[in-house]
Amino acid sequence: MTDAHVVGSGIIDFGEKYEWAFDDLLEGAYLDLVESVDHGIEPTKDIDAIWYGTLDIANEGSSGASVAHATGLFEKPATQIVNACATGSDAFRNAVQAVKAGDVEVALVIGAEKMLDSTEGLIGGAALERLWRGRGVTMPAFFGMRATRHMDQYETTREQIAEVSVKNHENGTKYPHAHQQFECSVDDVKESATVSYPLNLYDCCPVTDGACAVLVTNDERSREFTDAPVRVAGYGFSTDSFMRGDDLALTNFPASRQASSMAYERSGYGPDDIDVAEVHDCFSITELITYEDLGFCEQGEGGTFIDDGVPHLDGEKPVNPSGGLLSKGHPIGATGVAQIAEIFEQLRGEAGDVQVPDAEVGLQHNIGIGRNATGAVSCVNILER
């Protein structure tokens, strides 16, 4: 069986892109990819199949036909993946599996979301009917409940949680495609408006339009596109729910532990081998508990981990050098693909002002909340140069 390799990436600047239609987002990321492949690409000839991630929040991009319309890549298999906020990562994982299986030689993975064309919004979508099944539970509430319990159980402080946002905003000012490019202090986070106690506005990622694409191929074709391919060393995907009764699911995400265990096992790497990580920080608390779920620190030690500066850009294990979702933004279908693109750049030494020195192994982690805020999905991919 062949390995799968990432051999190109393309991204548009994330932000409020009112002038751009949904198709323009896809086309922009696709063109940036086509123009940046080291040795060039003849897309209609080279690309065998497309995996396309979008929740289609703007209701403009359903089915694989949408990506064909936006890019001109007709007469090929094009599959839409929808898997909550882990949509983009799961599109990537599916493409990797097809390449490894030998069924596809060159796959395009592309994700896009036009969040700001939604008339209802994600909070509005959580109507109060059938509350006990999660209706009425907004995303800040769902993640805020982990914060409340983590603070109670492990004496994690409000300041430690805020520090995640401070770190990621600082990184975001150095990352050219980030939506929110400003620095903030722990006090700024604590004094920003309460969205859902204990989380405030600066604990929450912004609402952002964006798109990103990566190119995946096999051993044989990889050098055709670049002299510096990035190998996909492992991947994992899992689902779990706090409703299954495990107390761990009240503070953390068992699905992330399962997905990362699978990825570690497939790759032969462990948490100590990871040089750089892009993880899901839809809220500050999400990143803090993810340090624990990925095994970067012990259970309950996420607060100390950030206090000690370990995940900072100049720390021992930099997490979210791109600014993460908190600064870069979270256009759902594009989010996971953009994390992959950042790890690809990091491992090739092309990450500019947020470059982690000598990064050889990178991890990408993306979770999603589904079934009316009762279940979680988690995807982890490990890449190496």
Q: Which residues bind another protein (CB under 8 A)?
A: 123-124, 126-134, 136-138, 140-141, 144-146, 148-149, 152-153, 193-199, 241-245, 247, 250, 374
Residue closer to another protein by CB (options 136, 271) is: 136
Nearer CB in complex with another protein: 208/366? 208
Residue 155: strand, helix, or coil: coil
CB 52, min distance to another protein, A? 31
Q: Is 90 within 8 Å of 336 (Cβ atoms)?
A: yes
Question: CA separation (Å) from 25 to 95, 106, 325?
Answer: 21, 22, 18
Task: Find the catalytic residue in 5, 177, 330, 365.
Answer: 330
3-state secondary structure of 382: strand
Residue 283 CB, nearest approach to another protein (Å) = 11
65 or 131, CB closer to another protein? 131
- The helix (run of H) or strand (run of E) holding residue 234 is strand 230-241
In the complex, minimum distance from the CB of residue 201 to another protein, in angstroms, rounded to a whole number: 9
- The reply to whether 330 belongs to the active site is yes
Q: How far is the CB of 194 from another protein (least distance, A)?
A: 5
Q: How far is the CB of 243 from another protein (least distance, A)?
A: 6
Contact (CB, 8 A) for 294 and 381:
no
Q: Which is nearer to another protein, 59 or 194 (CB)?
A: 194
Is residue 177 annotated as part of the catalytic site, yes or no?
no
Nearer to another protein, 39 or 130 (CB): 130
Q: Which of 85, 50, 156 is nearest to 339 (CA)?
A: 85
Catalytic: which of 85, 212, 282, 379? 85
What burial letters (b/e) apply to 200-236, b meaning 16+ CB within 10 Å?
bebbbbbbbbbbbbbbbbbeebbebbbebbbbbbbbb
Return the exposure string of 162-196: e unless at least 16 CB atoms fall within 10 Å of the residue's CB, then b. bbbbbbbbbbbebbebbbbbeebebebbeebeebb
Active site residues: 85, 330
